[in-house]
Structure 1
Amino acid sequence: MDIRTIKTFQTIIRLGSFHRAAEELQYGQSTVTMHIQKLEGDLGVKLLERGKKLKLTEAGRLFHQNADLLLKDYDYLHASMNELIQGEAGNVRLGVMEPTASYRLPQILGPFMQEHPKVKVSIQIGNTFILSQMLSEGVIDLAICSTPETGLEHTFEPLFNERLALLTPDTHRLAAKDLVYLRDLQHENILITTSVCPYRQKLEKALLEKGGSPYTGMEIGNMAALKYYVQAGFGIAVVPVITAVPTPPGTVLQNIHDLDSGLVTGMLRKQNGSTFSSAAEKLIGILRKGLQTI
């Protein structure tokens, strides 16, 4: 039993004759007859009583009543598969690191979702270490994060540098300096994120290498909250520029002269050449273009 024979049967019943059904379906009448014979053979029961006027058997009436639902389900499935193939539907599981998740992704993702309303996108937010693990375990399809520690399992495509700067209260001694160096942060109370945060790791390495250590630190688990703690006078912080613009009242944002361009951020994918859905490929193109133009 296949869809063509079911469609032929339903067309015969709707039009009342083999001849009319053959004309509408653009089949030869022998083909229509063969379809009905095959359908009855597959089902093992007679569906039509042939004569001057076609009559449905009891089995034919039952089949006719339920065949339309089957055809509608088939048409829906066929349309859904076409949408998936063309990238108009599907599921994409995306992992994103802050601040990209909050400050960049919404304006990039919004137009894509409006253009492709049947594509479902789920977003997991985490640091590079967690996102790498999720990618390895198949929890997400791709990640936007900083450079991973190893490239053995994944491929990494750099897209942009997340610029960093020093945020201080406007009454702080460093706020009046024309040029700030990492050594100027020595003995300061620096507000820092968690130990697995790549921004903290980059800062601590730079401070050790360029004379900004020792220092004291207060750990704040949420990067977006750092600027508010600076504003409240708890200390100073090295933050992604995008999170501190516009600068909160009572604070000053300054470049650190000997801190390099920022944290490299890019797209992390599995190295084994796993294929993406058409929807995912479309989204990858949008993300690449949107993040590279920053």
Structure 2
Amino acid sequence: MDQRQLRALVAVGEHRSFSAAAKALLTVQSNISTHVSRLEAELGVVLIDRATMELTDEGQVVAERARRIEHEFEALTSDVAAMRDVVSGRVRAGVIGTTARWLVPPLLTALKEGYPEVHVVWLDATTSSLALQLIGGQIDLAVVNTPLEEPELTTTPLFDEDRLLVAPLHHPLADRESVTLAEISQHELLLEAEGTSFRAELDDDAAAAGVQLRAQAEVDGMRLLASLAFAGFGAAVLPASAAPGWLEGEWRRIPIEGMGRRSVGLARRRRGLPSAAERAVADTIHSVVAAEAPLQRGIHAVSSSG
């Protein structure tokens, strides 16, 4: 068993074909097929269903281990380079979309200035998707909504953000300076879909106030939800980062009394040691949040040792 065989299996699992895996690894299809076949022969199991090109149950277990092994190889290289006072390596980082809008641009600048030899691949996705990819080893760390109910992951706090009502100018509540949960419960709202952490916390706040929110429409995607509110389809409860201060239109931001804040943190796998490059990216994320959060309307940095 060698690293090339493990890389080939992971690539086939991700791309669902030998040819696409070969292209991704800059090799030829016959090499990929040979590596996988030899790995199967050594382990005595079928790792890929040739009819569907999906990983078998055994293949999924081996691929998850293979990702961890690859991560350790990358961490080893990064740590040795750091001992020469040069932090280098590749880091795969995820970030929720509403936060990416204001965090990633200054983060790119800070990383380029502080760690020019660190190459970061960024992924914009939802918290649930990022958590699964962290557990599976596809990414190394991620900025996500917290708390996470995943025992395999650990988080450190980054910031809290206000939840507010975004109402089109024609909405009955648009002229209010603030509203209560009881008041917004009298109107149909654009809401995040049930099953999302944001919706669960929103429903908990409403229940604590003795009211139930009514959905005009449910949307699984914060940016789409915000876009519908901005376009005048209805009022929506959004995190502050979904309605940044520089964005203006035919709508108003209205504070909601008695509404808790959304918490955002930095997540990574509980098992294993982060590489020097990962530690550099994590430290930079914390420092950039501390510097940028005060400049963002409704976002409040949380002090943390990182």
Q: TM-score, normalised to structure 1's length?
A: 0.65
CA offset digits 1:54-111 (Å, max 9, x no partner): xxxxxxxxxxxxxxxxxxxxxxxxx998645544321001121231122212212222
Q: Aligned residue for 1:120? A: 119
Tell me if structure 2 keeps the 8 A contact 1:95–1:125.
Answer: yes
Where does the alignment leave 5 or more consecutive residues of structure 1 unmatched? 1-78
Q: Aligned residue for 1:146? A: 145
Q: Determine the C-alpha separation between the residues in 2 that align with 1:231 and 1:81.
A: 47
In structure 2, the CA distance between the partners of 1:174 and 1:88, relative to structure 1 (3 Å rule), is same
Tell me if structure 2 keeps the 8 A contact 1:93–1:141.
Answer: yes
The percentage of aligned residue pairs carrying the same residue is 26
CA offset digits 1:126-153 (Å, max 9, x no partner): 2222222211111111121122443522
Post-superposition shift, 1:194?
3.6
In structure 2, the CA distance between the partners of 1:81 and 1:220, relative to structure 1 (3 Å rule), is closer
Q: Aligned residue for 2:13? A: none
Q: Aligned residue for 1:202? A: 201
Q: Determine the C-alpha separation between the residues in 2 that align with 1:217 and 1:95.
A: 31
Q: Aligned residue for 1:266? A: 265
Tell me if structure 1 keeps the 8 A contact 2:188–2:213.
Answer: no
Q: Which amino acid aligns with 1:278?
A: A
CA offset digits 1:34-66 (Å, max 9, x no partner): xxxxxxxxxxxxxxxxxxxxxxxxxxxxxxxxx
Post-superposition shift, 1:115?
4.1
In structure 2, the CA distance between the partners of 1:250 and 1:149, relative to structure 1 (3 Å rule), is same
Q: Determine the C-alpha separation between the residues in 2 that align with 1:205 and 1:196.
A: 13
SS of the counterpart of 2:174?
Answer: helix
Matched, 1:286 2:284: yes
Q: Which amino acid aligns with 1:279?
A: A
Q: Determine the C-alpha separation between the residues in 1 that align with 2:173 and 2:191.
A: 18
In structure 2, the CA distance between the partners of 1:87 and 1:99, relative to structure 1 (3 Å rule), is farther
Q: Determine the C-alpha separation between the residues in 1 that align with 2:138 and 2:122.
A: 11
What pairs up with 1:29-44 in 2 under 5 angstroms?
Answer: none
Q: Determine the C-alpha separation between the residues in 2 that align with 1:82 and 1:179.
A: 55
Q: Aligned pair count?
A: 214
Tell me if structure 1 keeps the 8 A contact 2:147–2:263.
Answer: no
Post-superposition shift, 1:162?
2.1
Post-superposition shift, 1:201?
2.4
Tell me if structure 1 keeps the 8 A contact 2:167–2:174.
Answer: yes
In structure 2, the CA distance between the partners of 1:281 and 1:80, relative to structure 1 (3 Å rule), is closer
Tell me if structure 2 keeps the 8 A contact 1:167–1:230.
Answer: yes
Post-superposition shift, 1:114?
4.3
Q: Determine the C-alpha separation between the residues in 2 that align with 1:241 and 1:229.
A: 16
SS of the counterpart of 1:104?
Answer: helix
In structure 2, the CA distance between the partners of 1:115 and 1:156, relative to structure 1 (3 Å rule), is closer
Q: Aligned residue for 2:97? A: 98
Superposed CA RMSD in Å reads 2.5
Q: Could you say which structure has the larger radius of gyration?
A: 1
Q: Aligned residue for 2:183? A: 184
Tell me if structure 1 keeps the 8 A contact 2:110–2:284.
Answer: no
Once structures 1 and 2 are overlaid, which stretch shifts more, 225-234 or 250-259? 225-234
Q: TM-score, normalised to structure 2's length?
A: 0.62
Q: Determine the C-alpha separation between the residues in 1 that align with 2:137 and 2:129.
A: 12
Q: Determine the C-alpha separation between the residues in 1 that align with 2:159 and 2:147.
A: 15
What pairs up with 1:18-33 in 2 under 5 angstroms?
Answer: none
Where does the alignment leave 5 or more consecutive residues of structure 2 unmatched? 1-76, 294-306
Q: Determine the C-alpha separation between the residues in 2 that align with 1:80 and 1:104.
A: 25
Tell me if structure 1 keeps the 8 A contact 2:107–2:288.
Answer: yes
Q: Aligned residue for 1:170? A: 169
SS of the counterpart of 1:255?
Answer: strand
Q: Aligned residue for 1:219? A: 218
SS of the counterpart of 1:178?
Answer: coil
Once structures 1 and 2 are overlaid, which stretch shifts more, 281-290 or 201-210? 201-210
Once structures 1 and 2 are overlaid, which stretch shifts more, 121-130 or 111-120? 111-120
Q: Aligned residue for 1:89? A: 88
Q: Determine the C-alpha separation between the residues in 2 that align with 1:118 and 1:132.
A: 27
SS of the counterpart of 1:238?
Answer: strand
Q: Determine the C-alpha separation between the residues in 1 that align with 2:87 and 2:213.
A: 54
Q: Aligned residue for 2:107? A: 108
